[in-house]
Amino acid sequence: MKSMLPTPSIFRLRILTLVLLLFYFFVLPAQKPAKPTPSDLHQAIKKLNVLGSVLYVAAHPDDENQRFISYCANEKLYNVTYLSLTRGDGGQNLIGTEMGNLLGVLRTEELLMARSVDGGKQRFTRANDFGFSKNPEETLRFWNKDAVLSDVVWAIRETRPDVIVNRFYHDKKYDTHGHHTASAMLSVEAFDLAGKTDAYPEQLQYTAPWQPNRQFFNTSWWFFGGQEAFDKMDKSQLFSLDLGVFLPLKGKSNNELAAEARSMHRCQGFGAMSSRGENKEWFDFVKGERPPAGKDLFAGINTTWSRVPGAEKIGKLLAKVDQKYRGDHPSTSVPDLLKAMQMIKELPEGYWKKIKLAEIKDVIRGCLGIYLEATAAEPIAYPGDAVKIHLEGINRSDLAVTLAAVSIQPALFDTLFALPLAFNQNFKFDKKVQLLFDTPFTGPYWLQTPYSEGMYTVNQQTLRGLPETPRFARVRWSVTVNGIPLEYDTDVAYKVEEPAIGEVWRPFEILPLAFIEFDQPSYMFTTERRDVGVRVKAGREGLRGQISLTAGEGWEVAPAELPVSFKNKGEERTLYFTVTPKASPSETRFSASIRADGKTFTMRHVPIKYEHIPQQSVLLPAIARAARLDVQTKAKNIGYFMGAGDDIPNALRQIGCTVTLLEDKDFEPKNLKKFDAIVLGIRAYNTKEALQLYQPKLLEYVQNGGTLVTQYNNNFDLFVEKPAPYNLKLGRTRVTDENAEVRFLLPEHPVLNTPNKLSADDFKGWVQERGLYFPSEWDPAFAAPLSSNDPGEKPADGALLIAQYGKGYYVYTGISFFREMPAGVPGAYRLFANLISLGK
């Protein structure tokens, strides 16, 4: 289990109404006020008359069927939610360096952007994506099965689906990732539990039991070995839908819209081409009430207002609004919409009342052309800071709209107006407010409490499942329309004019007064002492403080404290401590803090910036792993050719190597010759087309006595046919258990003995996995000195393959050095040092 350090108790969310955000119809990426088109409004009016709900269940960002979600949202006008059990934290990142919890944040945002296109809603559970899992039994050992099941039940109770659709099958009949099968198993179990009052009764103070009507498995040709086999199959027991419908109010085919949504999964490289025309999708009945043969999966389910007692007349009125709607004059619908809203308000409290009230308020605002904006003068502030908030509101209809009151949270600002918002007259109001001292910091709620490899910890029931932390800084606008009161909430955002782009919006963030971090993720000590850099950033001008660094017992840090002072806000400075390690090999953890303004700050700030998502901020503890390492290397001068991206070059510098990142000019034989070893970064053959040119030169380098270390590649989409000088077939074998036994098949081989004598101890304390994509076949010229396997599997001997070629050494390895070395695992350093030293 790896766990995070506890963070200060910074996170106390005290907002009651925020969960309502989930029900809004117009999705607002990056806090930008929505500007619905006449067709958006027309679709929203039609949707007011549809009371149906669908839940789609799978395991990861990208598992979801966007065509089905878009079809439910835009053709059927249901509320459709994608429940992704995890945030995809354990995957790979094709567009940047975020991994683990940070990748989970990026993928969460990509899912939200996909939903803003396809019209679905998004939810999660507390399950942490711990990486590839071979079967559901293993998955449910890492996840807390009962906790994840309770979150699926919670999702069902909160979204009250009539129909649940699982992306995967609920037993091992179709072999796939263990998370996938587990997601369907939990969904099937939750189907039976959600309606029972004795299941997870602690949830019932916030929600009500709900029994869904029916459940399906969204089957596909890829479970049956190919399209051709699937076409020939008897499908008389299956149900189908044509998802290729044209959506006139969108001006697009459903498939086209879904491709746009899918293309938001950029960090997984899922940009997709659009298509048009018929597109059949198949569903296998799982449980509940089976629809009659020949009908679709929604057959016989009442999705009209008549499902709410006494509400039929609302449906009739809304049908009239739909018929009389004028795209060139949407505000003509408002008087009847206000009437319908009043009728909904008179209904007894209930699920659909809550949903439809939120929707109709949004539609009314859109039909009136009301625009409400709340922006801060600066993008970042700290608790207690004074911030200028700019408010702007305008009514672009001829109805009588009045601004009655405005309140700004989290300052204690409340004011009453009785200001008529006349047609197209812009209301502007600026107010400097002081943020409360106990305002919580912005950041993902699931990363605020220590968590394990398989589960996030979220103590507050009402936060569980939410895609993001509700924003704390917001403005509540009280308006009246034709004398009828309405309230709207807007998040405070930040906007800036960027000459090359135009108006750019980003979230307004509340962050600590000072940030502190180490200048490296880990520190390897091979000498008596070294300097360790600590970077500090000021959140306000004139900040002064004292910095300190703590290490484990037996490690010495000098000086005890360092003073620091800043002139400007945003200024950064790096200060150095001298650390003397323990005399014998040992590991420890450094932590850093700054005392300023009577408080202690211990967090580093990790911004996540991409053009396709709103900017995110994650606060993580300022810690670093450190080790006194007994490592020798005979190779000092290393050439490194970067593949998909990894941090091995820095790791090698820590043990005294000089590392050159190779460029075109370096691939001349005379230039290559000067390197003691050349290392190819992870997935180099998958990502670097230039290797087609360089490959013969690299092999020539080996022939002449060099050492080439190739790290793992996917076994498909390679830019060269043969990465090795001998026969080598890349495979997909993984060892996912980081504690799996590692056996020495060739104990006398130099790679296990020189210059570092390795033992079983060197394979202790590894993280996440042993390795991945091990070759499946290799020429007898290769030596395979190591063997390992996951529990219950046959030995995998392809983790490390070494061959002599000419006067040099060729090495291919799937061992996860790219994870272990940046994480400061001593044994990984010692083994890697032996690899690069092979030719010396």
* Helix 101-118 and helix 254-262, axial crossing angle in degrees, nearest 10: 160
Please give the full DSSP string across 225-282, using - where no structure is assigned: TSHHHHHHS--TT-EEEE---EETTTTEEHHHHHHHHHTT-GGGT-------S--EEE
CA distance 2 to 4: 7
395 secondary structure, DSSP code: B
Task: Kindly tell me which of 21 and 83 has the beta carbon lying closer to Zn ion.
Answer: 83
Task: Kindly tell me which of 86 and 207 has the beta carbon lying closer to Zn ion.
Answer: 86
**CB of residue 182 to Zn ion, shortest distance in Å:** 11
**Token pair 């080439």 in the structure block, residue:** 708
**CB of residue 60 to Zn ion, shortest distance in Å:** 4
**CB of residue 178 to Zn ion, shortest distance in Å:** 10
CA distance 456 to 147: 10
Could you tell me how far CA 396 lies from the centroid of its own chain? Answer: 38
**CB of residue 57 to Zn ion, shortest distance in Å:** 12
The one segment of 58-66, 134-142, 355-363, 535-543 that binds Zn ion by CB under 5 A: 58-66
Task: Kindly tell me which of 84 and 756 has the beta carbon lying closer to Zn ion.
Answer: 84
CA distance 447 to 591: 18
Query: Which residues, other chains included, contact 441 with Cβ-Cβ below 8 Å and sequence gap of 6+?
Result: 10, 11, 383, 510, 511, 512, 619
**CB of residue 585 to Zn ion, shortest distance in Å:** 40
The one segment of 56-64, 91-99, 118-126, 769-777 that binds Zn ion by CB under 5 A: 56-64
**CB of residue 183 to Zn ion, shortest distance in Å:** 9
Task: Kindly tell me which of 85 and 314 has the beta carbon lying closer to Zn ion.
Answer: 85
Task: Kindly tell me which of 60 and 170 has the beta carbon lying closer to Zn ion.
Answer: 60
**Token pair 């060099």 in the structure block, residue:** 706
**CB of residue 180 to Zn ion, shortest distance in Å:** 6
Task: Kindly tell me which of 88 and 212 has the beta carbon lying closer to Zn ion.
Answer: 88
Q: Are strands 53-58 and 79-84 parallel, antiparallel or unpaired?
A: parallel
**CB of residue 220 to Zn ion, shortest distance in Å:** 13
**CB of residue 685 to Zn ion, shortest distance in Å:** 24
Write each residue from 783 to 812 as x if it is in contact with Zn ion (CB under 5 A), else as -, in one continuous string: ------------------------------
Task: Kindly tell me which of 86 and 101 has the beta carbon lying closer to Zn ion.
Answer: 86
Considering CB under 5 A, how many residues would be counted as binding Zn ion?
2
Helix (H, G, I), strand (E, B) or coil at 646: coil
**CB of residue 457 to Zn ion, shortest distance in Å:** 23
Pick out residues in 389-428 that bind Zn ion (CB under 5 A): none
Task: Kindly tell me which of 63 and 676 has the beta carbon lying closer to Zn ion.
Answer: 63
The one segment of 52-60, 244-252, 554-562, 645-653 that binds Zn ion by CB under 5 A: 52-60
According to DSSP, the residues that pair with 588 across neighbouring strands are 626
Task: Kindly tell me which of 88 and 410 has the beta carbon lying closer to Zn ion.
Answer: 88
**Token pair 């300023």 in the structure block, residue:** 596
Cis amide prior to 485 (ω within 30 degrees): no
Query: Which residues, other chains included, contact 349 with Cβ-Cβ below 8 Å and sequence gap of 6+?
Result: none
Candidates 523, 517, 575, 526; CA nearest to 552 is 523
**CB of residue 88 to Zn ion, shortest distance in Å:** 8
Candidates 109, 120, 108, 41; CA nearest to 78 is 120
Give, for 408, the enclosing helix (H) or strand (E).
strand 401-409
Task: Kindly tell me which of 30 and 165 has the beta carbon lying closer to Zn ion.
Answer: 165
The one segment of 53-61, 140-148, 247-255, 821-829 that binds Zn ion by CB under 5 A: 53-61
Instruction: Give me the count of residues in the chain.
Output: 840
Q: Is 87 in the site for Zn ion (CB under 5 A)?
A: no
**Token pair 């006008």 in the structure block, residue:** 77
CA distance 686 to 695: 13
The one segment of 61-69, 250-258, 333-341, 343-351 that binds Zn ion by CB under 5 A: 61-69
Q: What are the Cα distances from residue 157, in Å, to 55, 161, 267?
A: 11, 8, 32
Which single residue brings its beta carbon nearest to Zn ion? Answer: 60
Helix (H, G, I), strand (E, B) or coil at 597: coil
- Residue at 395: amino acid letter: N
**CB of residue 63 to Zn ion, shortest distance in Å:** 4
Task: Kindly tell me which of 129 and 491 has the beta carbon lying closer to Zn ion.
Answer: 129
**CB of residue 268 to Zn ion, shortest distance in Å:** 10
The one segment of 38-46, 54-62, 166-174, 480-488 that binds Zn ion by CB under 5 A: 54-62
**CB of residue 166 to Zn ion, shortest distance in Å:** 13
The one segment of 25-33, 62-70, 151-159, 190-198 that binds Zn ion by CB under 5 A: 62-70
Q: Cα-Cα-Cα-Cα dihedral of 207, 209, 213, 218, to 10°?
A: 60
**CB of residue 321 to Zn ion, shortest distance in Å:** 42
Return the residue of 42, 60, 688, 770 that touches Zn ion, per CB under 5 A: 60
- Residue at 23: amino acid letter: F
Task: Kindly tell me which of 65 and 522 has the beta carbon lying closer to Zn ion.
Answer: 65
In terms of Cβ atoms closer than 10 Å to its own Cβ (0-12, 13-18, 19+), residue 114 is buried
Write each residue from 8 to 47 as x if it is in contact with Zn ion (CB under 5 A), else as -, in one continuous string: ----------------------------------------
CA distance 31 to 490: 8
Task: Kindly tell me which of 63 and 385 has the beta carbon lying closer to Zn ion.
Answer: 63
> Is the CB of residue 68 less than 8 Å from the CB of residue 56?
yes
681 secondary structure, DSSP code: P
> Is the CB of residue 835 less than 8 Å from the CB of residue 630?
no
- Residue at 647: amino acid letter: D
**CB of residue 61 to Zn ion, shortest distance in Å:** 8
Task: Kindly tell me which of 60 and 506 has the beta carbon lying closer to Zn ion.
Answer: 60
Write each residue from 212 to 231 as x if it is in contact with Zn ion (CB under 5 A), else as -, in one continuous string: --------------------
The one segment of 23-31, 57-65, 201-209, 456-464 that binds Zn ion by CB under 5 A: 57-65
- Residue at 577: amino acid letter: F
CA distance 819 to 152: 32
Task: Kindly tell me which of 90 and 465 has the beta carbon lying closer to Zn ion.
Answer: 90
Task: Kindly tell me which of 223 and 477 has the beta carbon lying closer to Zn ion.
Answer: 223
The one segment of 63-71, 196-204, 282-290, 711-719 that binds Zn ion by CB under 5 A: 63-71
Write each residue from 678 to 717 as x if it is in contact with Zn ion (CB under 5 A), else as -, in one continuous string: ----------------------------------------
In terms of Cβ atoms closer than 10 Å to its own Cβ (0-12, 13-18, 19+), residue 290 is middle
Task: Kindly tell me which of 60 and 214 has the beta carbon lying closer to Zn ion.
Answer: 60
Helix (H, G, I), strand (E, B) or coil at 337: helix
Largest separation between any pair of C-alpha atoms in the chain: 90
Give per-residue burial for 320-329: e unless 16+ CB within 10 Å, then b.
Answer: ebeeebeeee
CA distance 164 to 166: 7
**CB of residue 785 to Zn ion, shortest distance in Å:** 34
Task: Kindly tell me which of 90 and 725 has the beta carbon lying closer to Zn ion.
Answer: 90
Return the residue of 45, 63, 311, 828 that touches Zn ion, per CB under 5 A: 63
**Contact residues for Zn ion, defined by CB under 5 A:** 60, 63
